[in-house]
Amino acid sequence: MNMKTVDARGLSCPTPVVLTMQALEVAQDFKVLVDNPVALERITRMLKDKHNIVPSIENEGDDIIIHVQ
């Protein structure tokens, strides 16, 4: 089974947060790709504050991968 991936690289806020919220409606296990620390901070804050989810974070080159489970 392929894990859902939300590619939010190159997008400015609030779009990465909105895309992550939409993904939460259809999946509980997915990853979000971002390429800037502002999007990372806002997505992780939304996940923790609104959904009590603490994602794992991985850096891969210029990309930041947020694993939501």
Q: What is the reported pTM?
A: 0.92
Residue with the larger pLDDT of the pair 18 and 1: 18
CATH class of 4-68: alpha beta
- Between CA 50 and CA 58 the distance in angstroms is 22
- The counts of H helices and E strands in the chain are 2, 4
Q: At what angle do helices 37-51 and 15-26 cross, to 10 degrees?
A: 40
Interval 18-69: pLDDT, tens: 999 999 999 989 999 999 999 999 999 999 999 999 999 999 999 999 999 9
- Residue 30 phi, psi (nearest 5): -155, 175
> What pLDDT is recorded for position 3?
74
- Between CA 16 and CA 38 the distance in angstroms is 10
Q: Hey, where are the domains in the chain?
A: 4-68
